[in-house]
Amino acid sequence: MPWTGRHVVLGVSGGIASYKSCLLARRLVERGARVDVVLTRAAAEFVRPLTFEALTGRPVLSSIWERDGALAHVRLAHAADLVIVAPATAHLIARVAQGLADDLLTSLLLAATAPVLIAPAMNDEMYANPITQSNLRALTSRGISSVGPEIGGLAEGPSERPGRMSEPETIAAHAARLLRRGGPLAGKRVVVTAGPTRESLDPVRVITNRSSGRMGYRLAEAAWERGGDVVLISGPTSLVAPVGVAVRRIETTADLARAVGEALPAADVLVMAAAPADYRPAEPSATKRSRGDGALTLALEPTEDVLASTLPLRKAGTFMVGFALETGDAAARGRGKLARKALDLIVVNDALEPGAGFEVDTNRVTLIARDGAEQVLPLMDKRAVADAILDAIEARLG
């Protein structure tokens, strides 16, 4: 629960996208945050306070004049670690730009010292209007962060111009990055590799492995939320690119070695979570092989050793993290690889353990550091494993 103990004020203004803010409230609660929802009068026309009260387990505030409202704007402004406004209507943005404080939400935004994140959402013409643009610039020039709006369907129909509110997951990721600002990974270039590689047998068939890419994707997502400037070098997967992360797609182990070689000079941290194919067909066929040709014996040749290929390219101080997926005696093999490949940290797991390794959302790993420290982690969700790995990296970054 990365947000345990953090207090988030979620302001909701009167846009049609306020229905998506119910999901956002839920995401924030799931991450462990204490969430106080503040509705404008118009927002309460779209979503009943009861919905947010049920989702957050806390009373919803909407008027500066009501029972719990007395000085609530000051109380909430001081207590909040983060204020999110989603959706932020054109009207709300205009009021904040002018410094108006004519209701609970605008008053607390004026009093807030915590970071503020707004998610504008409106009709595309309203968004493109120079008055709205100028109001938004006024907000961002005063340090208010903004996410979206995006191009996509609006309530009134499809649009090819921005106006649609960012999805709750995207807003939650930006919020996480704001909450963790200033940590050891802030501004650091983090390169993560993920997924399997694929080697062609013929134009339609490949040799690959069971890696889903989930571990690397969760690492890239978590590193971005910690302020990193993240590049994800990904083999073929069906996963959605994490928010904020630059994704470079590769296919073969040779592609992976090339992409890592290119990314390495700028990298402060390299995390090699990909599962590259160790062998490729020595003579891939230019045409589809047919069963009618009879029995087939394949000659395989070893692929590039990607980690070893980085040894001459590493700049001093790049923090190197490797993964060792073994089947038996994993820790001992991991220690050997840590030394052989001159790593700072190795993440070891056993592919035969239930719930660990490929194609599952969980993993059970042991972290072994160059300084000799070993941390045996319980079976955890891969995002929690990613956070534990990043904690270990952050604790050792110079």
Ligand X SMILES: Cc1cc2nc3c(=O)[nH]c(=O)nc-3n(C[C@H](O)[C@H](O)[C@H](O)COP(=O)(O)O)c2cc1C
Structure tokens at 289: 């092989």
When asked if residue 146 is in the footprint of ligand X (CB under 6 A), the reply is no
Which of 8, 9, 17, 307: binder of ligand X (CB under 6 A)?
17
Q: Which single residue is written with the structure tokens 């709205």?
A: 132
- Rounded Cα distance, 319 and 228, in Å: 14
Contacting ligand X within 118-137 (CB under 6 A):
121-122, 126
When asked if residue 101 is in the footprint of ligand X (CB under 6 A), the reply is no
Task: Output 30 or 45, the one with its CB closest to ligand X.
Answer: 45
When asked if residue 16 is in the footprint of ligand X (CB under 6 A), the reply is yes
Task: Output 165 or 384, the one with its CB closest to ligand X.
Answer: 165
β partners of residue 146:
118
Cβ-count burial 243-281 (b if 16+ within 10 Å, e if not): bbbeebebbbbbbbbbbbeebbeebbbbbbbbbbbeebb
Cα dihedral 131, 137, 140, 141 sign: negative
Distance of closest approach, residue 93 Cβ to ligand X, in angstroms: 8
When asked if residue 149 is in the footprint of ligand X (CB under 6 A), the reply is no
Distance of closest approach, residue 127 Cβ to ligand X, in angstroms: 8
Helix, strand, coil content of the chain in percent (nearest 5): 35, 25, 40
Q: What is the largest CA-CA distance in the chain?
A: 84
Distance of closest approach, residue 15 Cβ to ligand X, in angstroms: 3
Task: Output 87 or 213, the one with its CB closest to ligand X.
Answer: 87
Contacting ligand X within 29-68 (CB under 6 A):
40, 42-43
What is the secondary structure of 198-212 as a DSSP string?
Answer: -EESSSS-EE--S--
Annotation marks residue 209 as catalytic = yes
Which of 21, 62, 89, 166: binder of ligand X (CB under 6 A)?
89
Total residues contacting ligand X (rule CB under 6 A)?
15
Long-range contacts of 283-292 (CB under 8 A, 24+ apart): 284/199, 284/200, 284/201, 284/202, 285/201, 285/202, 285/203, 286/202, 286/203, 287/202, 287/203, 288/202, 288/203, 288/204, 288/205, 289/201, 289/202, 289/205
Contacts of 198 (CB under 8 A, 6+ apart): 206, 207, 208, 235, 236, 251, 252, 277
Which of 13, 193, 212, 303: binder of ligand X (CB under 6 A)?
13
Q: Are 396 and 345 in contact (CB under 8 A)?
A: yes
Cis peptide before 87 (omega within 30 of 0): yes
Task: Output 40 or 197, the one with its CB closest to ligand X.
Answer: 40
When asked if residue 269 is in the footprint of ligand X (CB under 6 A), the reply is no
Residue 79, Cβ neighbours under 10 Å: how many? Answer: 12
Distance of closest approach, residue 62 Cβ to ligand X, in angstroms: 10
Which of 3, 9, 10, 14: binder of ligand X (CB under 6 A)?
14
Kindly name the residue from 123, 135, 209, 363 that is annotated as catalytic.
209
Window contacting ligand X (CB under 6 A); options: 12-20, 65-73, 288-296, 326-334: 12-20
When asked if residue 90 is in the footprint of ligand X (CB under 6 A), the reply is yes
Local structure of 58: helix, strand or coil: coil
Contacting ligand X within 324-383 (CB under 6 A):
none
Task: Estimate to the nearest angstrom the gap between the alpha carbon of 352 and the chain centroid.
Answer: 28
Instruction: Write the DSSP symbol of residue 53.
Output: H
Distance of closest approach, residue 389 Cβ to ligand X, in angstroms: 40
When asked if residue 15 is in the footprint of ligand X (CB under 6 A), the reply is yes
Contacting ligand X within 153-192 (CB under 6 A):
none
Task: Output 64 or 121, the one with its CB closest to ligand X.
Answer: 121
Task: Output 16 or 23, the one with its CB closest to ligand X.
Answer: 16
Structure tokens at 99: 């410094």
Task: Output 13 or 318, the one with its CB closest to ligand X.
Answer: 13
Distance of closest approach, residue 214 Cβ to ligand X, in angstroms: 35
Q: Name the residues that contact ligand X, by CB under 6 A.
A: 13-17, 40, 42-43, 89-92, 121-122, 126
Catalogue the active-site residues: 209
